[in-house]
Amino acid sequence: MAATESSSLVTKTTVILEKPSDWQEWLFLRRDKATLNGIWEYCNPDMSQHELKKLIEPVRPTPATVAEGVTLRSQLTHEQRLDYQDLLDAWEYDQKTYLHRQKALNELTSEIAQTTARSNLYLLEGKSTAYERLKALKEHLSPNTARRSRELVVKYRDLQATRRGRAVEGWLDDWIKITDQMRTLNLPDVNGSRSQEDFLIAEHQFHLYEITCRNFEHSTVVQALEQQE
């Protein structure tokens, strides 16, 4: 299920995770944002807890890091101070990266709840991290390949039969989206030129329907005029 937010500059579409058929698009948006922020490896639900990379805050170096037993910077030699400063510079960079990723993970954790349908929020209870929430949602709402394949085939056949009365742009968008997803699963219904042939057949049937409607309307008008004479 998709929700749209509009402003004068941009239109954003947010997918709400309500049922298994929403999973693919919903997860894509979460994964895309997490990847851009460099945090997907810390919350990828396809990984086990053991395999998952841990985000660890870097430890600030001290004078003792470069000279054992030293507690004050003033006690360091000139060379040791240079080494210590290099370590501090590296730590500051790593700390900024850590804080950025920690903030992104916190935002993702909140976003997961905000984009999950109310009927599924119970799955997130007691789950405080993005990984735990993604894992729980995947276990309950990620469709298996067989079920997803059946859903797509049903939608595909429905598209072939429901061209009438639909806006061309919306019908074409659905056709492209569904056939792309079917190709990803390597479904035979869209192998080779089958989808192109189905598209042409659907279009041909629609044009025949339009011609029939126009002929009926013309006949109705003629009859009305004849009755007036």
Beta-carbon contacts of 75 under 8 Å, excluding residues fewer than 6 positions away, are 63, 67
Using 70 as the pLDDT threshold, list the residues of the chain that sit under it: 1-12, 146, 162-166, 195, 202-229
Single out the residue in 141, 166, 193 at which a domain terminates. Answer: 141
pLDDT at 7: 42
pLDDT at 174: 87
**Could you give the number of structural domains in the chain?**
2
| Structural domain of 29 | 20-141
115 plus 40 within the same structural domain = yes
Does some domain include residue 78? yes
150 plus 137 within the same structural domain = no
25 plus 119 within the same structural domain = yes
Does some domain include residue 7? no
pLDDT at 147: 80
Does some domain include residue 8? no
Hey, what amino acid is at 36? L
pLDDT at 89: 98
pLDDT at 218: 41
41 plus 128 within the same structural domain = yes
Here the tokens at position 129 are: 């991290």
Does some domain include residue 44? yes
73 plus 123 within the same structural domain = yes
pLDDT at 192: 78
Does some domain include residue 12? no
Here the tokens at position 32 are: 């895309």
Contact by Cβ (8 Å): 41, 58: no
pTM over 0.85: no
Phi then psi for residue 48, to 5 deg, are -80, 165
Does some domain include residue 1? no
131 plus 153 within the same structural domain = no
